[in-house]
Amino acid sequence: MIKFIASDLDGTLLNENKELPKDFDYVLEKLNEAGIKFAVSSGRQYDTVIDQFGKYKDSMTFIVENGAMVYEKGKRILCDPLDKEQAKEILAIIKKEPGLYPIACGVNGAFGEEENKTHIQNVIMYYLNYRTVDDVIERSSDDDLLKIAVYDDELSENHCYPILKDYYDTANILVSGTNWLDIMKKGVTKGSAIEQLQKLYGFKPEECMAFGDFMNDADMMRVCSESYAVENAHPELKALCKYICGSNDDEGVTKTIRRVVLGE
């Protein structure tokens, strides 16, 4: 029996217009009635997620910053930041490379330096609580950094990812989108956050279901036996998952939950 469901947001639960499935309220209500916990699991910051999901604050779990922080009922129940010195080293490498724009994602908000037009449009979309600073490295000492997000003018998988090869063993480097890459503390992933929730609530992996579309969702599939990649997912994630469901534009997540979990 499924007791816990986690879904990525962008490209998975949300369609290409960043809209929820039309039946989301109905599905969440039915899950709550059945005592099944539902979590959104996102690389976004909490402020941005709650801006869209505020009405659901007390009825679901929020795994944010790719697993570095978890909220329930408005309270932070997990926080796992980067080492400050390592964060400064990585920020320095990123700043030297043309076409890369680092965003320091702290407990108290995100910040970065002057951006180009394309970059700032993406920042505004994903980071509601964001400010511009003169020196992102210097200001990184002022907060605990949950994540460093990098917007890449090129393909992040081919450009930014190889540049950080010296940190593969000491930090968690994840391609999180076509033009995005995320750096977290070693061992911190969406999957590690779910493991903490499994321990907290006594859920077994076989009682957990996960949905995703990109490689920053991969570790969720390790800890949730019922793993689903949406049809529009990265090929490597599809290869990791037990099942493929409909695309984000076809409301694959809620249709699957209704069929498999709710028995409709």
Q: What average pLDDT does range 195-203 have in this prediction? A: 97
Give just the sign of the alpha carbon dihedral 81, 161, 149, 24: negative
Residue 26 belongs to a domain with what CATH number?
Answer: 3.40.50.1000
Residue 101 belongs to a domain with what CATH number?
Answer: 3.30.1240.10
Query: What pLDDT does residue 177 have?
Result: 85
Does position 200 have pLDDT exceeding 90, yes or no? Answer: yes
The reply to whether 228 and 168 lie within a common domain is no
Burial class (CB in 10 A: 0-12, 13-18, 19+), 185: buried
Q: Supply the DSSP string of 115-158, one letter for each residue.
A: --HHHHHHHHHH-SSEEE-S-HHHHGGGS-EEEEEEEESS-TTT
Does position 196 have pLDDT exceeding 70, yes or no? Answer: yes
> Among residues 185, 213, 236, which one ends one of the domains?
185
**CA distance to 26, 133, 169, per residue, from 13 (Å):** 14, 33, 31
* Total structural domains within the chain: 2
> Among residues 137, 163, 185, which one ends one of the domains?
185
Q: What average pLDDT does range 146-157 have in this prediction? A: 94
Query: What pLDDT does residue 125 have?
Result: 76
| C-alpha–C-alpha distance, residues 244 and 212, integer Å | 10
The reply to whether 70 and 192 lie within a common domain is yes
Range of the domain at 50: 4-79+188-261
pLDDT band at 116 (very low <50, low <70, confident <90, very high): low
Number of H helices, E strands in the chain: 10, 14
Query: What pLDDT does residue 176 have?
Result: 85
> Among residues 185, 219, 249, which one ends one of the domains?
185
Query: What pLDDT does residue 42 have?
Result: 95
Q: What is the pLDDT of residues 80-91, one digit of tens each?
A: 999 999 999 999
Does position 117 have pLDDT exceeding 70, yes or no? Answer: no
